[in-house]
A and B are shown apart, each in its own frame.
Chain A
Amino acid sequence: MLEYEDIQHILLTRAPALDGLYAFLSFHKADGGRAWLSEILETVQSAAAALALVEKEKRWVTVAFTWNGLRALGVDEASLDTFPEEFKQGMVARASILGDTGENHPDNWVDGLARPDLHAIAVLFARDAEERGRCNMEHDNFLARSDGVEVLSTLELEATPPFDYAHDHFGYRDRLSQPVIEGTGETPTPGSGGPLKAGEFILGYADEYGLPGKLPQPEILSRNGSYMAYRRLQEHVGRFREFLRENAATPNDQELLAAKLMGRWRSGAPLVLAPDRDDPALGADLQRNNDFNYKQMDPLGYAVPLGAHARRMNPRDTAANVNRRRMIRRGATYGPHLPEDAPEDGVERGIAAFIICASLVRQFEFAQNVWANDSNFHELGNEHDPIIGAQDGTLDFKIPKRPIRKKIVGLPAFTTLRGGAYFFLPGLKALRYLASLTDARHA
């Protein structure tokens, strides 16, 4: 039985937000940090509250902490030691494992995200800009009353037009292949497999192997919590469009090339089901747009290249133990829309995403290390994920085609990682526990 009243809403619900803000914080004093937490936790919805009030609510708040942030709040060393190694080390230290090299290296990150004194994130999803402004003022008041809480940076979120469906700045439809958790009552869409055990995503529940993973201690801190990998990924829209124009002669061929990189047309229609031309009605139809596999329907990659983004991030029936590698994705786009006919304007835009899972090393890091950035993936050789992989202009992208495949050499980087962090996303009881700590507990 999932404890909806204790689980932060972001884990189980998706806010109907078109605006928002992330604030990255540092606590210079433990009691100041706890004072801030005591105030903000009153605004953090549980999954139960978010579901009950989804039509009425105008804003949704999430808070999470780095390992250093837990220490800064006063969590004692014995407890800190029970957290998993990769979380303790943090995303900066795991850069080479994640493929965060070259331009993506933490040395180049912005907004103070690589700083060891990054302690917390407050996530605001708002229904509109007005609500975001109101909440931001409310947050400023919390900060004014909390001694020694520094805002390292903020990131304003902005949905990209058209607003009637979720998509990124490249134009790819998003939210097509999300795992469904057993016990939520949701029914997976056709082709998505069965619901997954809650323990794959939420601490304290049985996972796909039937056992709850090892919980950080004390249990009140970890139960109903999860881990959240933050990735701020700049999308080079001008470069992407130029690449399509340079490598495909007609608008139709450009669309097909964009689809080959992703594994789906930008409308969301999967190439396995629509290999030759786009089918926007299929792309928008949740009952049909995920109903395919690779092993039987496209083993050689004539529809979806073996190295395409979707095929790497969810290899479906072509990888072992995929149910142990699934992740919940949340987040939003940021930066202004670049109109289709406009030249690159040099303004940063991209996606600011959260990947939520019970084990960063088994789920998120595996996907980055093996699926996105392993040159041996499907024996592809000189390839990484064409959308999110580490690209330095020396790698290829092969598109199987009869009689002879097309090989693109020197694939440019369409995205650059501008920052990231590992956060622990506590349940609501755990937030109250953290707010009630005293300095005496700090060893």
Chain B
Amino acid sequence: MPETATKADWTKPAAMAIPQGGYFKDQAEQGRFGPIFPRTPACYGFSIVAKVKPGREANFYEYARKIEETVAAQPDALAVLKLHYLRWVLFPVKGELYFMYQGIFDTDFDKYTEDAVRLFTGLGMSTSFENLEGFPEDWKTNPGAFVKFVREHQCPSFLEYGEYPFVSADEIKKALKLKAAFSNMLDLMQ
């Protein structure tokens, strides 16, 4: 694994080339549910790609509105996942619709797998997954099958880049809070 994987210097933008398969050979840390994808300058993440069942496209737009409302009503709804960003994408390949769900976060997915499954279930995220081909019908009673689906449809990156590498969302939020606090202090000094 290149040195950048272990060195955290946010002032130095960094890129990391990742071998085929997504892991550095012989260096993949074992998580509770299998090998863990490496932390890169763009933190941890996943890119889940799956084929949409025919005629289900509208469900995703409905689902998007639902997530928007959920987060507006409960801003910490997704806090447990230690996220930076999530992106949901629909795209066609040879006339068929595919779905991509991409996330960037600060802890490897393995660690909070059960919490994520619970969250997806609670927020109705799994209902969007129900529109994907191969999604286990018994996911409600079989979280293991849910995890298996996610792992099987994960497409690992071959290259990742960070402009401010290895910085966590909490660190960014702390820095912004500090900036605001200094700004307040300066106001009080006037």
Contact = CB atoms under 8 A, between A and B. Distances in A.
Interface of A: 86, 96-97, 209, 211, 214, 320-321, 324, 361-362, 365-366, 369-370, 374, 376, 379
B115 A321 contact: yes
Interface stretch (B29-37, B129-137, B175-183): B29-37
B170 interface: yes
Interface of B: 29-33, 79-80, 106-107, 111-112, 114-115, 118, 141-142, 168, 170-171
Contacts of B31: 97, 369
B114 A362 contact: yes
B141 A211 contact: yes
B170 A379 contact: yes
B114 A324 contact: yes
A85 to B, nearest CB: 9
Give the 3 A-B CB pairs with smallest separation, nearest first.
Answer: A320-B80, A370-B111, A379-B170
A320 B112 CA distance: 10
A376 B106 contact: yes
A96 B168 contact: no
A396 to B, nearest CB: 15
A81 to B, nearest CB: 14
Given A97-B31, A321-B115, A362-B114, 14 more contacts: A86-B32, A96-B30, A97-B32, A214-B142, A320-B115, A324-B114, A361-B33, A365-B32, A366-B32, A366-B114, A369-B31, A370-B111, A376-B107, A376-B168
Interface centre among B106, B107, B114, B170 (most CB of A within 10 A): B114
A321 B111 contact: no
24 contacts: A86-B32, A96-B29, A97-B30, A97-B31, A97-B32, A320-B79, A320-B115, A320-B118, A321-B80, A321-B114, A321-B115, A324-B118, A361-B32, A361-B33, A365-B32, A366-B32, A369-B111, A374-B107, A374-B111, A376-B106, A376-B107, A376-B168, A379-B168, A379-B170
A324 B32 CA distance: 16
Contacts, number: 40
Contacts of B80: 320-321
A370 B82 CA distance: 14
A361 B114 CA distance: 10
A390 to B, nearest CB: 13
Contacts of B29: 96
Contacts of A324: 114, 118
A369 B114 contact: no
Contacts of A97: 30-32
A376 B142 CA distance: 29
A209 B140 CA distance: 10
Nearest to B119: A320
A320 B115 CA distance: 7
B33 to A, nearest CB: 8
A196 B29 CA distance: 33
Contacts of A214: 142
A186 B30 CA distance: 39
Contacts of A321: 80, 114-115, 118
B171 A379 contact: yes
A219 to B, nearest CB: 16
Contacts of A366: 32, 111, 114
A214 B141 CA distance: 9
A435 B141 CA distance: 32
A369 B33 CA distance: 12
B107 to A, nearest CB: 5
Contacts of B112: 320, 370
